[in-house]
Amino acid sequence: MQPSSSTPSTSAVGVSMQPSSSTPEATMQTPSASTAEVWLAFHTVTFYHDVINTRVTNDPSEVERWINVMEYIHQGNLHKLVVGLDLEWRPNLTGDRAQDNPVALIQLCVGHQCLIFQVLWASSVPDSLRTFMGNPRYTFVGVGIAEDARKLRSTYWLNIEHIVDLRTRAFSMFRDERFFSVSLKDLAEIVLHKVLEKPMEVTLSRWDNKRLSFSQVKYACLDAFVCFELGRYLRASVN
């Protein structure tokens, strides 16, 4: 999560469905996990001319379903699959790193399909997600992604096998050292020529809430989608 102030330039419409009633896989208890209720909601988020289908859930079985669909759709190109990755957690406003809060959301995006997994409210982390993130053929891209990977590993024992920081990739392509210190918002403007809206009230919002507002869903979705788009543009899977 990176605070910034930008002029809004996107629009989005959300449509929600009733919570899923399927039973989650029970393998590992996560912080503050609730086993009594699972939910699934679908939203449509727009970013300029792109429409992103966004699935929000705490249900491990829905995570597995999303992964299966992505691997089926891209089965001919799995050796160069790029996945946009971002995380959200409740902001720590004390400045004490020892009080950092656990990851609340894991956002994954492939093409125009985004998954927002409310892992803090899940009964378990599904084995399918561990396998997906541990596949060396898949390239997970983000800004500051090494720190995200460390946080996932320390909180949920989730290991990502192959990560690429988009700042490093941008430097490799453009040979401009300013890319080492830019934010995701900066990269979107410089490379994609698009403004990524980052309202402070959403950046600093309660990402650990059980029910996310649409503003939070949009913010979380677009972070992962823009990571994917940058990874595709910068050919991040070619290393």
Q: What is the pLDDT of residue 28?
A: 42
Task: Kindly give the confidence (pLDDT) of every residue in the chain, 239 residues in length, as a single tens digit, with 9 standing for 90 and above.
Answer: 544 433 333 333 333 333 333 333 333 444 445 456 999 999 999 999 999 999 999 999 999 999 999 999 999 988 899 999 999 999 987 766 656 899 999 999 999 999 999 999 999 999 999 999 999 999 999 999 999 999 999 999 999 999 999 999 999 999 988 899 999 999 999 999 999 999 999 999 999 999 999 999 999 999 999 999 999 999 876 55
Q: How many CA atoms lie within 13 A of 183 on its CB side?
A: 13
Residue 3: closest CA among 182, 143, 203: 203
d(CA 58, CA 210): 9
Tell me the whole-structure pTM to 2 decimals. 0.84
Q: What is the pLDDT of residue 81?
A: 96
Under DSSP, is residue 170 helix (H, G, I), strand (E, B) or coil?
A: helix
Under DSSP, is residue 112 helix (H, G, I), strand (E, B) or coil?
A: coil
The domains found in the chain, sorted by start residue, are 40-233 (3.30.420.10)
